[in-house]
Amino acid sequence: MFIKASEAVVTRGSTLILPTVSIGNVPQLGMDLLINTLQLSRIGIIDDSALLPVSGIAAFDHITSRPVPLEVYQSTDAKWTLIQQRSPPLPKHHRLFAKSMLEFIKAGEFDRVVLLTSSDAALRTDALIDGPQIRSISVNCDDRVLIDKLQALSLTDFGHRQGMAIDDNMDSKESLLAGILKQLHAAGIARPLLDMCQGAGIPVLALVSLVNEGDNISDAITIANAANAALGIATNIDQWHPPQSWQWLMPDNVPSELF
């Protein structure tokens, strides 16, 4: 359930960008950079029983509110609506949570939907080893301008050159997407959500970062750069500003009290 901060909140016509909780936490870290650098306002939260409860100290430099599992942020002109997810779904609740997000997307009447996700690079196919390590998946997307921009940025289609066979018993687009989604590993709700959006006829662009678990700060910067270049979110910034929550992300000096 979307709980708005005020009745004045409007999402219709906005571009929605949402992350998955996936390998390396790359999408969430990328969202941190976007939200903190753009100084977005928190316009509400999504209360969903499928997520693990979590709270803590203020995460962003410009917001004092305590974090909760699912937060909704927006630019002052309402052009950009961003979600930050701070905890994963409970075991066996991934499809249930994906369905909740599908309903939120439908109700929000967004102009565009962009999903940031990550996939285990150790399990990628040979065709994905060479070339850009951020790929795109387009679902029901006929935005020619955006597709051309992705190609210009070398954000190659995730299914490109995969050589996947089409099942004769399925619609060709449906079969191709099913084959592509099988190549996603440790990608959170990316598989079920994209599959549901395909069935519901909702256009979605997914940016997939192929990563290994570890210090994923550089991967977060890369996916934030890719999203910004493709969508033009922040055209006048020269660098990203990590939030204060990154202070202990990969600390040089770990407090001895922890041991």
Predicted confidence (pLDDT) per residue in 109-126, tens digit? 999 999 999 999 999 988
pLDDT at 163: 39
Mean pLDDT over 92-114 rounds to: 97
Residues 57-93 have pLDDT tens digits of: 889 999 988 999 999 999 999 999 999 999 999 999 9
The token pair at 141 is: 């997307």
d(CA 15, CA 195): 20
Looking at the predicted structure, is the pLDDT value of residue 32 above 90?
Answer: yes
d(CA 20, CA 132): 20
The token pair at 132 is: 């850009």
Looking at the predicted structure, is the pLDDT value of residue 108 above 80?
Answer: yes
pLDDT band at 259 (very low <50, low <70, confident <90, very high): low
71-75, 126-130, 134-138, 162-166: least confidently modelled range:
162-166
Mean pLDDT over 99-108 rounds to: 97
pLDDT at 107: 96
- In angstroms, how far is CA 219 from the centroid of its own chain? 13
Instruction: Output phi, psi for 218, to 5 deg.
Output: -65, -35
Q: What is the pTM of this model?
A: 0.90
The token pair at 201 is: 């006829």
pLDDT at 165: 39
DSSP state of 60: S
pLDDT at 251: 64
Question: Which residues touch 67 (CB under 8 Å, ≥6 apart)?
Answer: 54, 55, 56, 58, 59, 84, 86
Mean pLDDT over 126-141 rounds to: 89
**Domains along the chain?**
12-245 (3.40.50.10900)
pLDDT averaged over every residue in the chain: 90
d(CA 126, CA 115): 24
Mean pLDDT over 152-174 rounds to: 61
The token pair at 37 is: 């650098």
Residues 16-29 have pLDDT tens digits of: 999 999 999 999 99
d(CA 41, CA 117): 23
pLDDT at 254: 66
